[in-house]
Amino acid sequence: MIYPEVRYPIAGDQNMVVEFGDEIDITLNQKVHSMVSAIKRAEIAGIRELIPTYRSILINYEPFIISFATLQDKLKALENRLDFSSLPSPREVEIPIVYGYGEPYKSDIEFVAQYNGLGSVQEVMEIFTSGDYLVYMIGFLPGFAYFGGMSEKIATPRLDKPRISVPSGSVGMGGKQSGILPLDSPSGWRYIGRTPLKLFDPSWQPPTLLRAGDKVRFVPISPEQYEHISPKVKEGTFKVKVTSES
């Protein structure tokens, strides 16, 4: 793939966007996270917040401390020295998931199997669980992680009519994307399972369980295990398995 020149469009009087392309692509996302790391190390005065996305970064800055032009010059200098080897080691997070337990999970996982010509919902479960997922970005809702890495063997279109409310912890897919709802929410995605884990809590620091750049592995659990873990999560006594690559 030939990648376009990096763009620096204005996004209001206190925001700049650094655009690396217009595709969902792992190399573009690596550039995003490499740039975020470089900006943090540079400690540029006036930058208040960095928000990485699939293929861009929204930078909120203080215009009375640094001008748009000066910030752009500093960022271009960093861009020219980007080093993928400087990226921090990703965290690896295990997410327990119960498949097809209750609605809408049972009907949706059956639809995913039928739509993709698979013999059973068990195949959907095995394919979804078989790989690692990359957290491309956090968005839509606080703590909602957009995952890359889902097999195209189970890619499934969204619902024609979104549901009014889907429970928090629901794990699903919309086209080739997948993610987990951190809160009860309307949604047009297909949901095949649910995790008992909490994805967002404003009292946490940071307030989200998952972060852009994390790797996620789904671990199947039974309905009985789900019911056993849920109260521990609510009590704050369940320990999520999080490791870092060496």
In which residue ranges of the chain is CATH 3.30.1360.40 found?
A: 15-86
Residue 246 has pLDDT above 60, yes or no: no
Classify the C-alpha dihedral 146-195-157-149 as positive or negative.
positive
Q: Tell me which fold the domain 91-244 belongs to.
A: Cyclophilin (2.40.100)
Binned at pLDDT 50, 70 and 90, residue 86 comes out as low
In which residue ranges of the chain is CATH 2.40.100.10 found?
A: 91-244
Residue 188 has pLDDT above 80, yes or no: yes
For all residues of the chain together, what is the average pLDDT?
A: 90
pTM of the model: 0.81
- What percent of the chain stands above pLDDT 90? 67
Q: What is 15-86's CATH number?
A: 3.30.1360.40
pLDDT, residue 1, reads 55
Residue 197 has pLDDT above 50, yes or no: yes
In the chain, DSSP assigns E strands to 15-19, 47-52, 56-61, 91-99, 133-138, 145-148, 163-166, 170-174, 177-180, 185-187, 190-194, 215-220, 242-244
pLDDT, residue 202, reads 92
pLDDT, residue 12, reads 87
pLDDT tens-place string over residues 16-73: 999 988 878 788 888 888 899 899 989 999 999 998 888 899 999 999 999 999 999 9
* Higher per-residue pLDDT: 158 or 87: 158
pLDDT tens-place string over residues 126-155: 999 998 999 988 888 899 999 988 999 999
Specify whether the CB–CB gap between 53 and 32 falls below 8 A.
yes
